Amino acid sequence: MLDKTEKSKDVHNYIRDAYSKIAVANTSCCGTASNCCGGVENPEKLASELGYTEAELASLPEDANMGLSCGNPTALAALKPGEVVLDLGSGGGFDVFIAAEKVGPTGKSIGVDMTHEMLTKARKNIAEFSNRTGLNNVEFRLGEIEHLPIADNSVDVVISNCVINLSPNKAQVWKEIFRVLKPGGRAAISDLALLKPLPENIVESVTALVGCVAGAILITDTETMIKEAGFGQFNFDNKSKLIDKMEQWNDPLYLSIIEMLPKNEKLSSYITSLGISVVKPCCEQMKEAMHKHVRESMGNAIPASSCCR
C-alpha cells in the first residue's frame, strides 16, 4: 500500500504526463480538439466569458491561450505597474503575459510550471510577446507549486488559474504562497471548489482528476488551509454559473464526468468556480500577533510591539 508521499508522487507524475501531452499536441487528455480544465474548442470565447478583454488577448502569442482557465485571476489581482507577479502552474504563459503588460517595464511576471513541455511552449512565446509589446519582463521557471523556486518575501502578487485543485498537497501550496509573498502582498486565485462532497466514483476517476474536478476540495477546507498558512484577510467569490456553462460546451471530458453523476444531478450542484483573494499580514501585524500569543502564554509579561525590524 502506497504511503502519502508515494501517492503524491503518483498524482504529480500522472498530471505531468497528461499536461505534457496537451502542450505537445494542443489536445485534451481525451484526445479531442478541446482542453482539460475549462475545455472548449474556442479558447478565445472562454476567455471572453471569463472577463478577459479583447485588448488583453490581442497582444498574446498565438498559442499562449490553451483554454485551461476557470476564472480571471489577473482581474481579481488588480495588478499595478512595477509589481512582481508569480503565476502558479503557468502552462503556455496565458496569464503571465497578460500580467506582464499590467505591471509594465518596471515590473516582472514569473511563471512556474512542473511540465517541461509547457515551459518549452511558454519560453518560445516570449519572443513573440516582446515583439508585440516591446516588453522584456517575463520569465518561466521549472518547479512544483508545493516547492516554489522563489525566494522568501520576494513577490508582490501570486496568481493561479485552475491549478491548485490538481495538487495532492494543497495545504503546502498555501504555505508556499505565504512564504514567497512580501509582507502586505496578496494572492488572487481562480480555482474549482466543492459545494458538497463528490460521489465516490468521480473522486476515483482519473478523467475527473485531470479535468480539475476530482481534485477539488470543499470551500470550508480551503478556508482552513488559508488560515493555517498564516493569512489574515481573505475573500471568496463564488461563480457557480460558469459550471452551468461548462455543461453546455459539449466537451467530451466534461460529458464523461457528467455521465458519472447520480440521476438528475448537475455538476454545478457539486462544484463551483471560486475566486479567492488573500492578503499576507504586514510585518507589524505578524510581529504583534506573535507578541500577543507570547504575552497571553506568559501572563502579559512582555510589552506589545508596534514596529517591524
Nearest to 277 by CA among 164, 198, 202, 186: 186
If one counts every other C-beta atom within 10 angstroms of the C-beta of residue 229, the result is 19
Q: Which residue has the cell 514569473?
A: 110
- Lowest average pLDDT, out of 6-15, 195-204, 286-295, goes to 286-295
Determine if the pTM surpasses 0.85: no
Strand order across the beta sheet in which 84-88 lies: 138-142, 108-113, 84-88, 155-161, 181-194, 271-279, 233-239
| 184-208 CB burial, b ≥16 within 10 A, e <16 | ebbbbbbbbbbbeebeeebeebebb
* pLDDT value at residue 201: 83
* pLDDT value at residue 235: 95
Residue 58 has pLDDT above 90, yes or no: no
Residue 156 · residue 183 · CB < 8 Å: no
Domain extents in the chain = 4-284
Q: What is the CATH number of domain 4-284?
A: 3.40.50.150
* pLDDT value at residue 67: 62
